[in-house]
Amino acid sequence: MTPETKLPKVGTTIFTVMSQLAVEHQAVNLGQGFPDFAVPPRLVEALDKAMRDGLNQYAPAHGLPALRMAIADKTARCYGHRPDPDAEITVTSGASEAIFDAIHAVVRPGDEVVVLDPCYDCYEPAIDLAGGVAVHVPLDPATFAIDWDAVAAAFTPRTRLLMVNTPHNPSGAMFDATDIERLTALLEGTGVLLLSDEVYEHIVFDGARHESILRHAALRERAFVVSSFGKTYHCTGWKVGYCVAPPALTAEFRKVHQYNTFCTFTPAQAAFAEMIQAEPGHYETLGAFYEVKRDRFREQLLTTKLKPLPVPGGYFQLVDYSAVSDLDDAAFCRWLTEEKGVAAIPLSPFYAVPPPGQRLARLCFAKNAATLDEAITRLQRL
């Protein structure tokens, strides 16, 4: 007997599809967003030591106290606000789990959740499973700026949650002070909650400041703020993240978390606690580290027929391929992988309704120079 699907719009994620296609065709994989360079040595050594010291059993459900303390200290250092490590910080098995838990903690059947397209593909399935309704508001198709008037127009008495993402995946667009002002004004006097996906928080360029929701009291008091150690420390496969939220929201969040994963990989938690405290310079210089890669990759792309768009933050480069092909983005990325040996991600899976005629693909530059060089050599043949 085949059960009726609870997720009729969901198939295999585009990231899995393109990575498998890259393997099959021996393509350079600039699709799925994972680094191909080493994890910081201290982190590996700390993980090894934690396992050898016997930290191999369940951690406390909310996270090791040492890690929650380290997160609180780091948050204060970065954003001028120190959350309560006992009542406001929860360690999760990746940022995706944190996003899922936050949605299920507060969204009830029939509630509306406003998402800004293009948005990461794990958002809407979590909303659907909670019985909520995703309300899609498109970003500017050229600049990926937020039309706050359109967001305001999307609010109804049933709006429960607004989801934002800065730096933005896939475009790299970032909030500025004006966005914070508009967001604050929009939410003032409403019961709408906020979920801020900030997994690329430390990968910002050109002297810009990451406008974390945690900087702003009026916003953080109604927000779940989600971060990712995998993005910050080059270890996406470890799947460790965390959520900062005020006590009342954290209490509801933890109700879901304890029956979802209960707790997160213990040795990694110990390793991150040590790494944060011992080497704060890692996250403080991460933007500069990636800015070198961004600039070099952009210069290389200018030798191809692909047109690179601006990248204010994150480690993805959008390219306009309209000088190469009239194929839609999904067909183009498949052709690029199969025929030219470079895997990219189409933007259409990030949308409910993709902009007509959009010819953009996403490339990941969180790679070794040799990987990017080989990709460019192949892209120069387009």
This prediction's pTM: 0.97
Q: With H, G, I as helix, E, B as strand and everything else as coil, classify residue 227.
A: strand
Location of structure tokens 């995946």: 169
- CATH 3.90.1150.10 domain position(s) in the chain: 14-39+286-379
285-291, Cβ contacts within 8 angstroms, sequence gap of 24 or more: 286/202, 286/203, 286/232, 287/202, 287/203, 287/204, 287/205, 287/313, 290/203, 290/205, 290/315, 290/365, 290/366, 291/205, 291/206
Report the 10 Å Cβ neighbour count for 357.
9
DSSP H or E segment with residue 163: strand 159-165
Give how far Cα 357 sits from Cα of 18, 112, 186, 308, 322, Å.
22, 29, 32, 17, 9
pLDDT in tens, 196-231: 999 999 999 999 999 999 999 999 999 999 999 999
pLDDT in tens, 20-49: 988 999 999 999 888 999 999 999 999 999
Q: Is domain 41-282 in CATH 3.40.640.10, yes or no?
A: yes
What percentage of the chain has pLDDT greater than the value 70?
100
pLDDT in tens, 128-166: 999 999 999 999 999 999 999 999 999 999 999 999 999
Residue 54 class from Cβ within 10 Å (0-12 exposed, 13-18 middle, 19+ buried)? exposed
- CATH 3.40.640.10 domain position(s) in the chain: 41-282
Which two tokens mark 346? 């189409």
Contact 35, 367 (CB under 8 A): yes
Mean pLDDT for the chain overall:
97
Which two tokens mark 278? 């011992």
CA distance 257 to 40: 29
DSSP state of 34: -
CA distance 357 to 339: 23
**Arithmetic mean of pLDDT, 297-309:** 98
- pLDDT class of 365 with cuts at 50, 70, 90: very high
Domain 14-39+286-379, CATH class in plain words: alpha beta
Query: Per-residue pLDDT for 1 more than 80?
Result: no
